[in-house]
Chains A and B, each alone.
Chain A
Amino acid sequence: MTELRGVRAQRDALDSREISAVELCELHLNEIRRKDPLLNSFITIDEEGALQAAKSADQRLGRQDRVQEVTGIPIAHKDVFYMRDTLTTCASGMLQEFKPLHDATIVARLADAGAVCLGKTNMDEFAMGSSNRTSFFGAVRNPWDLSRVPGGSSGGMAAAVAADLVPLASGSDTGGSIRQPAAFCGVSGLRPTYGRVSRHGMIPYAPSLDQAGPCARTVEDLGIMLVAMEGYDPKDSTTSDRAATDTRKSWGPRTLGVPAAFMQQMEEDLWSPFGKSIHAFRRQGYRVQRIELPHFDIAVAAYYLIATAEASTNLARYHGLRSGPRATEFNGVSHSHSQTHSEALGTEVKRRLLAGTYALSERNGGRLLVQAQKIRRLVTEDLLKAFKSVDLVVTPTTPTTAFELEESADSPVRMYSNDAFTVPSALAGLPALTVPCGFVGGLPAGVQLIAKHFHESELLSTGRDFQRETDWHLSVPQLPTA
């Protein structure tokens, strides 16, 4: 696998007929069989579908028919995306037998481009979590240290890419669910601008925040997957018809802004890799200056009010009347609804739905929710104001490295503070990129770049510059044989 690591190497091998798409697919399926029992990064492995798609890709390659960058490349989708006739569970007992009747738009687009989907990756239940411990199908383990979490909610996505099970994977990011696990697992992840990528067929958590995006080892590969996913979709009224991202454009050295506020929230061990990242940018001619984001600290509290309130509305549909499991013992429709809800949803989901119900209640939390929405405006305006003096904002991606599987399991509030650095850009709908920036005690750390709306091209250019100067993204975890 070493010679075929990453999309560029695989594309070259496929184009020169050194390997066929079927052989490449089988190679990755073998890796999954060998490593995934240790990681639990997949919920569904679709061998038959994958081999079929690989055969089609080989035919396309043979005819040179609509060959794109991802044609014949193995990928995986987070289990939050609809895939026709394929189990789509959102890692919940509530949807454990659900098979959609259609594909999510990004699933369809990647399939049309000839990508070979190997399966669906594990995640936190309904994308609610930062550790991937809340999955109905069991926790995912971090490939760098199997006693630690991979982050969440897209933990399976990040673990699979880090362990070379797939070179590309899709994820969803509500408050940091692509970036935090990517940082914990030492890979690159991108949250595109709100509206850049269609969410049609993506099971919602908090629709005003949810966004789909790619995960890969390198920034170059992120760009390849983004191009295949993005674009206007008549089935999602929030998608934009802006021009496609120019993934090859080089923007040259930019001015980076470092917010002062995050320093208070950061584990001291992470200062060193972050400081080295700043030096790496400077060596390439980037200018770095301090900026103020006065409401940075408060963003995570506002985020949890807004996200849980939206979730409590969204998840009301899962009551077992039309689909999914239904409680066997009940007395009337209302009782059936509450019994089903209680039996099929996990503890963290219930916790957040109760918090959201509180936030939506006029008598209790209504005032809090409006206050959170005002803070959302302030956080956004802080960032937009910063962009008048700098091109990109740079922060660590997470305040800590990956924590132990049992750590903070009984304290939801401690868990929520893990999203402190990723939440502000999510509230503002801004694109943000994480790239590996070093190791602390053998665990990866990530640096995050935030850009103006629809400036993914600028983000990718800066990320490529960083990865030309550093080699953290080339490190691969050594897993014992399962």
Chain B
Amino acid sequence: MAPSSISSLRGIEVQQATATWGGLVVGAVGLGAGSDPFPGKKNEEANPRISPPQACFLESGLAFQGTSVHSELIDRLFSKACFACTESEKQAFASDLDRIIKFVSVVNQVDTRGVEPVLGPIQFARLLRDDGHVADVEPFETLELCETARDVVHAVRPEPKREP
């Protein structure tokens, strides 16, 4: 049975729909029959075509407490980001930014106690190559490299002349 409406995302119909996939149970976890998993005030940001959990968090009123993009903040951000804008542009961006900050602030709802932040996927993908001996550098070559480096540095940033 195919789902007949968007409301079928919200309740028992989900399980009915998944049954058509040959017994593969891929339903909305924890949704009771007929219950509304997204209670509370409906948020205007929710995409009318889908019901992203992000919107659900916003709707629950739990997502974001006490932050709004006020004039002082927007001025500071414009200054730090090096933007010059008119007052009307600032107001438009303040409204957008307010919505974006609310959207991303749902990250606060996850319990991350004891979790180390990660800066990139390198440690998971084990990208870095093993250290290995490539080639010997002759002492003379090392001296030459140093000499060149000093010349380059001096060319860019000459030392002040000293009085004899």
Contacts and interface: CB of A to CB of B under 8 A. Distances in A.
Interface of A: 193-195, 207-208, 232, 238-241, 258-261, 263-268, 271-272, 275, 278-279, 282, 288-290, 292, 295, 297-298, 300-302, 304-305, 312, 316, 319, 334-335, 337-339, 341-342, 350-351, 353-359, 361, 364-365, 368, 370-378, 380, 384, 399-400, 403, 408, 411-414, 416-417, 420, 427-430, 453-454
Contacts, number: 229
Nearest to B126: A453
The DSSP consensus for interface residues of chain A is: helix
Contact of A241 (B108, B115, B129): B129
16 contacts: A298-B107, A301-B104, A334-B82, A355-B97, A355-B100, A357-B77, A364-B73, A368-B105, A371-B112, A375-B112, A377-B116, A378-B112, A399-B52, A413-B45, A417-B50, A430-B121
Contacts of A408: 47
Interface residues of B, number: 68
Nearest to B107: A371
B12 interface: no
Those 6 A-B pairs whose CB atoms lie nearest each other, nearest first: A429-B121, A373-B117, A208-B120, A297-B53, A374-B112, A195-B127
Contact of A375 (B47, B56, B76, B107): B107
A380 B121 contact: yes
B25 interface: yes
B107 A194 contact: no
Interface in B77-110: 77-78, 80-85, 93, 96-97, 99-110
A341 B83 contact: yes
Contacts of B116: 374, 377
Interface string B107-136: 111101001111111101111010000000
A370 B117 contact: yes
Nearest to A348: B96
Interface of B: 2-3, 5-6, 8-9, 14, 17-18, 20-22, 24-29, 37, 45, 47, 49-56, 73, 76-78, 80-85, 93, 96-97, 99-110, 112, 115-122, 124-127, 129
A265 B24 contact: no
A264 B97 contact: no
Contacts of B49: 267, 399-400, 403
Contacts of A232: 129
Contacts of B50: 265-267, 399-400, 417
Contact of A372 (B6, B47, B56, B107): B107
A259 to B, nearest CB: 8
Nearest to A431: B125
B129 A351 contact: no
Contacts of B125: 193-195, 240, 429, 453-454
Contact of A238 (B22, B78, B115, B122): B122
A282 B23 CA distance: 12
Contacts of B105: 301, 368
